[in-house]
Structure 1
Amino acid sequence: MARRITIKDNLLESRLFMRRAIAALLGAALLLMALVGRLVYLQVVAHEHYRTLSEHNRIKLEPIPPNRGLIFDRNGVLLAENLPSYRLEVIPEQVADMDTTLQQLGELVEIRPYDLERFEKARRRMHAFEGVPLRLHLSDDEVARFASNRHRFPGIEIRAGLSRHYPLGREAAHVIGYVGRINEQDLQTLDEANYRGTTHTGKVGIEKTYEDVLHGTVGYREVETNAQGRTLRVLERQPPVPGSNLYLTLDARLQQAAEAAFGDYNGSAVAIDPRNGAVLALVSLPNYDPNPFVKGIEYRDYQALQSDPDRPLFNRALRGQYPPGSTLKPFIGLAGLELGVTTSHSHTFCPGYYSLPGQEHKYRDWKRGGHGTVDLLGAISQSCDVYFYDLARSLGIDRMHDFLAQFGFGAKTGIDIVGELGGLLPSSAWKRRTRNEPWFPGETLISGIGQGFNLATPLQLAVATAALGSYGKLYRPHVVRALQPPADGSLQPVHLDPPRQIPIHERHNWETAIDAMIEVVHGRRGTARRIGQGIDYRIAGKTGTAQVFGLAQEEKYDAEKIAKRLHDHALFVAFAPADEPRLAVAVVVENGGSGAAVAAPIARRIFDAYFGEGQADGTD
């Protein structure tokens, strides 16, 4: 079979090659034009935009947190300071075997499970070349042990900084408060820009109320970084502005004496200067040490504080709401005088009980045998319940409410510490509004001796007592006395609202109520006469006892047969010197039993500490 011979068409192949070459050249030309167009866009049209992005990759702003302002008492005693502290940081990319390294570190310094958990969380959100905190607040011994073994731990560094510290520990903890690590809730209210680099913020007390003043203004440094984000050099630095120092009205020496006066009792005491509303002591017991909260209190320790039946974290001075008991009687007596219901010469017979007309129920006096015939002075000095049952019935609940409201009962005082409660001052409208029930005459009687629905905080009692002693000048209590900005170091007194004058038309009515309170302490039959011995000035005061639970009609209170937590609360309010008051005090002793036997002696110790040798004048 003959082979078939194919003759090549060179002309056709040449034409096909040319077409393909031209197509390739056109494609290359189009790609080149697109590339040139893109370069023109990047280099000319979008030059400024990408130049800015490039600078941001090369230059970075790093925040420099400011030093927190210090807190002093009125005499310059340091209450909150910043101490050098050391923390252990790990640079993950420089650690070859993390588990082994952490195990060996644990042999030199204590590393708790809490520390490891926090370290892992921080490690996941930070770059591998950044220092991740492992342990905060190393002790000097731990720093020394690590320093001598530092060669064994590449990638582990000790960083120095400042940490908040409270030199007095538990004392005045409820006033000063504490700082803690910033959490998600804090971030909702804080200025994010000004808190860059800041790890702690005020949580309670003065630390929280004056956070804006204490924190200061963040600074920045402009640093040059490489493509991996590592710092190469510092280009520019704007230093931070430290926070202002605070000088409080608090007297640390008086605060310590007041807390010591309680002994083993729980309760609260507030001491105020009636001339300006300055709080000189504010006690809430039991208290707590705020320093662990700064370092990061362990869960079990916090739970122990939370579950403690004595509630050490609870600020009794501002949030403790107690029946004022007989401490309310001078104010009720003053209401009777001012509203023309009684006079200083009016008398009431006290057989030991009181009954409403047409009723058999007996409202008992604390003294079973009664006080006999008493006037207002005798009723206050001997704390006669029957006199005030009768006076309360004549006044009526709504007139009592309106009069007592002028002294601040039933409302917040406005003190410059967050968290205050307003107590409760009942009225017929209040009961109808909150309980949808009518007001009963018997409720008026027990309201007249500070029981029933009445509730007041120790701070309210102190403010009202100060107003009574100063003939109606009602000041808003305050704890901060002056600010000290970092610029010039001069003290700038805080602005004080002018006092509100309680409108009592007859000065004689003030004098009658005050004279009766003097009789409580210095009278022959005064309920607090024991504390009036051995002093060269006069105290005007009033004892009080507040029931924790109710008694049946014929049941008798026997402290020995009931649990300690069911004992009556003991109260005492007073101011001194009685003629020109410089200090007003309210004392509440939880389950103390007797205001005369327990609360009044505590107040006497506070007065002794204040008027003792070397005591400052106390004015702002």
Structure 2
Amino acid sequence: MLRRFALAFGALLVVTIACEAPAPKPEDAARIYADAWQGASYTAMYDLLTPAAQKRVARDAFVTRYGNIADEMSLTGVAVTPGLATPEQDASQKPIDGRVDVPLTVQYRTTKVDPFTRTVPLILVRQPDKTWRVDWTPEAIVPGLSGDRLVRMTRQVPTRGRIIARDGSELATFGDAFEVGVVPGQIKDEAAMLQSLAPLVGLPEAEIKKRYANGQPDWFMPVRVMPPATPADVRQKLGLIEGVQLRPARVRQYPQGTLAAHVIGYVGVITVEELQKLGPKGYQDGDLVGKTGLEQTLEDVLAGTFGWRLGIVAPDGTQTAILGERVAEQGQDVQLSLDITLQRAAEAALAPEPKAAVVVEDLNTGEILAIASRPSFDPNAFAGGDVATTSRYLTDATRPLFDRATFGQYPTGSSFKMITSFAALREGVLQLGEKVPCPAVWTGYGDKYKQLNHETGDLGPIDLHTALSRSCNTFYYELGKRLNDKDQHLLPSTAKSFGLGKATDIDYVLEAEGFVPTPEQPVPGTAADRVWLPGDATNLAIGQGQLLATPLQMANYVSAVLNDGTLLKPRLVLKIQKRDGTVVKMFERAELGKANTRPQDFAAVRDGMRGVVADRDGTAYFPFLGFSVPVLGKSGTAETAVGKPDGWFIAGAPYGTPTVAVAALAEEVIERPGTFASVNSAAIARKTLAAALHVSP
């Protein structure tokens, strides 16, 4: 019987052993840990730690550190692959019982640096219940990390690209400067410090105090970046003020000062609204961004792309390891078509006028050789934080920050009359050589609606040449009526075919569209109760009424007149290039279309424009008297709501083989004996053309 019990016990032992579950493998525990990490389940990861590890690091500290590091890395995810377990060895390289190393191959994916892979040591310890748990250290996050070391993402700021003229002259660049700041804890006598600092940095004491009010005692609180041209004695005085520190800085610099300021624009400190938009690209509080002009529209090109370096740093800030990096892409240079000598001459030509603008366009290429608006401003004031000067710009009633060349919209006056001429000839309501009366008073719609010529005498029947050269309004009232009687859309559509009433499509330049009244929309905006009236047509025929155009549009319009109706796309940006000169993008000559004209009519219209300057009774004869190059052009005087007319002169030269077109505007001229709006604008055009053609003004 005893033998039978022994046999039964042996059989039971075999069955028991055969049914016992296999011992847990460390690789299985590592796989569970890896899955939790991939799912950002940091609490679940903590639950897999050994009791000893959990004594070294609290749950909240563990979870918080993983979360903080994920945030610092801008982590989007990790891919974790466990390797094979190998026994951990002691100092004599003997296996340690119950301790194994399961290497984790971890790919870290972030939004700021390229994906990088590291092998993380994961030490697992067999527990009394035969399960395996993680003997965690900070190196299980990333190799090289310790309790007192941190993961740090550092931004690499690219150098902003330059804006240069066609000859390479710098219009916008960066210069070495210095930043003035206050360290609150180093202030001994705040009143004395503020009293000394305010006049040197050009800021009110209250503004300075506001800029360091929220700083910690040992923080450097920026007050103002001083321009590169700051006198040495000012810098010396700043360095002697207790509580004030100076540090090197790079500042956007505009070496030409006010030259072409409106099209170049300026940079300023990023706003909260701008940061919401640009933050994902790496911008941070305090960064400089383009605010106006090309600095704004070419921000992506000029600013480049921020780079990032992810590393491990020691408590003293020393970098001990680089984990990943995305190299910054430096800002690219932008070369403009501006002729810097001509630009200076154009701005000098505007100087006698309080408010004016001028645009010069190359007739062969559409390149803008000069574009100027007066009054102007110095963008260095904005880049350097000169509050007093920028405040003056912002409150000046003449609006020096307003770009009249591209955003100013003005009635064109008689400079529009070439369009009326082309439409009338094309539609047969005027024949070449035909003479139309030029009375002092036109009564085509009856005496009740009479309209006046600017000359008080009756000139009798005159041809197109004389009508243009003497700018007879009543001649053009009659043409406007004839066109409108045939089809109300004829004149408005012809104006639009010359590029009026719509943007010129110039690259990277913000511009107004102007307005051409039509039967469907006689006035700007929505006016459903306003119908097209006969007077709208006659007003349009002489460039009055609701018609509005910018100087840029007018330069492009006269360019089309001189180019046999070809409407070119204006070009200010010639190319985008890297700092080493490698071309990234070229902007080639482009045509926008053809004006709605007949080829045989251009000679007659241009002959009339020549008469404006060459005929003794031409409206611009005296302003161009003695000019050495034959010019053709058209003057215009436009009524304004304030009672002070705007003066236009649009022109080209040389007559017969023109190479450049110019549009000059004198805004709200106070006319008096000897001073007339169109004469003032003709003077601007003359001086500008002289510089463009390299002749004496």
TM-score (norm 2): 0.73
Secondary structure of the residue aligned to 2:233 is: helix
Which stretch of the first structure deviates more once superposed, 128-137 or 383-392?
128-137
Whether 1:484 and 2:572 are equivalent positions in the alignment is no
The amino acid that maps onto 1:475 is L
The amino acid that maps onto 2:608 is A
In structure 2, relative to structure 1, the CA distance for the partners of 1:223 and 1:85 (3 Å cut) is: farther
Which stretch of the first structure deviates more once superposed, 534-543 or 571-580?
534-543
Whether 1:461 and 2:543 are equivalent positions in the alignment is no
Q: CA deviation at 1:194?
A: 3.3
Match of 1:609 in 2: 691
Q: CA deviation at 1:51?
A: 3.6
In structure 2, relative to structure 1, the CA distance for the partners of 1:297 and 1:566 (3 Å cut) is: farther
Report if aligned partners of 1:273, 1:584 keep a CA contact under 8 Å in 2: yes
Match of 1:58 in 2: 150
Whole-Å separation in 1 of the counterparts to 2:446 and 2:637: 29
The amino acid that maps onto 2:615 is G
Question: Which aligned pairs between 1:183-194 and structure 2 lie closer than 5 A?
Answer: 183-194=271-282
Q: 1:591 aligns with which of 660, 664, 668?
A: 668
Q: CA deviation at 1:597?
A: 2.1
In structure 2, relative to structure 1, the CA distance for the partners of 1:48 and 1:567 (3 Å cut) is: same
Question: Which aligned pairs between 1:205-604 and structure 2 lie closer than 5 A?
Answer: 205-222=293-310, 224-226=312-314, 230-233=316-319, 235-236=321-322, 240-265=328-353, 266-298=355-387, 301-396=389-484, 397-431=488-522, 434-486=527-579, 488-491=580-583, 494-496=586-588, 498-502=590-594, 504=596, 506-549=598-641, 566-592=643-669, 593=671, 594-604=676-686
Whole-Å separation in 2 of the counterparts to 1:222 and 1:346: 80
Which stretch of the first structure deviates more once superposed, 594-603 or 170-179?
594-603
Report if aligned partners of 1:65, 1:195 keep a CA contact under 8 Å in 2: no
Q: 2:246 aligns with which of 158, 171, 175?
A: 158
Report if aligned partners of 2:503, 2:513 keep a CA contact under 8 Å in 1: yes
Report if aligned partners of 1:472, 1:502 keep a CA contact under 8 Å in 2: yes
Whole-Å separation in 2 of the counterparts to 1:497 and 1:348: 40
Q: CA deviation at 1:196?
A: 4.5
Secondary structure of the residue aligned to 2:179 is: strand
Whether 1:120 and 2:208 are equivalent positions in the alignment is no
Q: Deviations over 1:387-443 (max 9, x none)?
A: 100100111142111111111111111223443111110011013852422211122
In structure 2, relative to structure 1, the CA distance for the partners of 1:135 and 1:459 (3 Å cut) is: closer
Match of 1:78 in 2: 170
In structure 2, relative to structure 1, the CA distance for the partners of 1:234 and 1:457 (3 Å cut) is: farther
Q: Deviations over 1:555-596 (max 9, x none)?
A: xxxxxxxxxx63211111101122222211111101234354
Q: CA deviation at 1:370?
A: 2.7
Whole-Å separation in 1 of the counterparts to 2:174 and 2:489: 52
Report if aligned partners of 2:556, 2:567 keep a CA contact under 8 Å in 1: yes
Q: Deviations over 1:277-324 (max 9, x none)?
A: 1111111111112111112242x6444333322111111111111110
Report if aligned partners of 1:208, 1:418 keep a CA contact under 8 Å in 2: no
The amino acid that maps onto 1:514 is R
Whole-Å separation in 2 of the counterparts to 1:399 and 1:316: 29
Whole-Å separation in 1 of the counterparts to 2:195 and 2:446: 81
Question: Which aligned pairs between 1:7-86 and structure 2 lie closer than 5 A?
Answer: 35=51, 38=54, 51-52=140-141, 58-86=150-178
Whole-Å separation in 2 of the counterparts to 1:68 and 1:105: 33
The amino acid that maps onto 2:650 is V
Q: CA deviation at 1:504?
A: 4.7
Which stretch of the first structure deviates more once superposed, 494-503 or 66-75?
494-503
Secondary structure of the residue aligned to 2:527 is: helix
Secondary structure of the residue aligned to 1:366 is: coil
- Which ranges of structure 1 fall in alignment gaps of 5 or more residues? 1-32, 550-564, 616-620
Secondary structure of the residue aligned to 1:314 is: coil
Identity of counterpart residues, as a percentage? 30
Whole-Å separation in 2 of the counterparts to 1:366 and 1:372: 14
Secondary structure of the residue aligned to 1:530 is: coil
Report if aligned partners of 2:332, 2:577 keep a CA contact under 8 Å in 1: yes
Secondary structure of the residue aligned to 1:414 is: coil
Report if aligned partners of 2:502, 2:515 keep a CA contact under 8 Å in 1: yes
Q: CA deviation at 1:373?
A: 1.1
Report if aligned partners of 1:572, 1:595 keep a CA contact under 8 Å in 2: no
In structure 2, relative to structure 1, the CA distance for the partners of 1:103 and 1:505 (3 Å cut) is: closer
The amino acid that maps onto 1:113 is A
Greater percentage in helix: 1
Which stretch of the first structure deviates more once superposed, 360-369 or 37-46?
37-46
Whole-Å separation in 2 of the counterparts to 1:361 and 1:505: 31
Match of 1:25 in 2: none
In structure 2, relative to structure 1, the CA distance for the partners of 1:137 and 1:573 (3 Å cut) is: same
The amino acid that maps onto 1:510 is F
Report if aligned partners of 2:498, 2:595 keep a CA contact under 8 Å in 1: no
The amino acid that maps onto 2:510 is G
Report if aligned partners of 1:244, 1:483 keep a CA contact under 8 Å in 2: yes
Report if aligned partners of 1:271, 1:280 keep a CA contact under 8 Å in 2: yes
Q: CA deviation at 1:349?
A: 1.3
Which stretch of the first structure deviates more once superposed, 305-314 or 601-610?
305-314
Q: CA deviation at 1:90?
A: 4.8
Q: What is the CA RMSD across the aligned residues, in angstroms?
A: 3.1
Q: CA deviation at 1:176?
A: 0.8
Secondary structure of the residue aligned to 1:189 is: helix
TM-score (norm 1): 0.82
Q: CA deviation at 1:169?
A: 1.6
Report if aligned partners of 2:182, 2:212 keep a CA contact under 8 Å in 1: no
User: How many residues get paired?
Assistant: 553
Report if aligned partners of 2:612, 2:633 keep a CA contact under 8 Å in 1: yes
Secondary structure of the residue aligned to 1:468 is: helix
Match of 2:235 in 1: 143
Whole-Å separation in 2 of the counterparts to 1:499 and 1:434: 34
Q: CA deviation at 1:231?
A: 1.1
The amino acid that maps onto 2:590 is P
In structure 2, relative to structure 1, the CA distance for the partners of 1:210 and 1:381 (3 Å cut) is: same
Whole-Å separation in 2 of the counterparts to 1:220 and 1:37: 33
The amino acid that maps onto 1:133 is P
In structure 2, relative to structure 1, the CA distance for the partners of 1:438 and 1:120 (3 Å cut) is: same
Which stretch of the first structure deviates more once superposed, 65-74 or 109-118?
109-118
Q: CA deviation at 1:225?
A: 3.5
Q: CA deviation at 1:193?
A: 3.7
In structure 2, relative to structure 1, the CA distance for the partners of 1:354 and 1:284 (3 Å cut) is: same
Secondary structure of the residue aligned to 2:491 is: helix
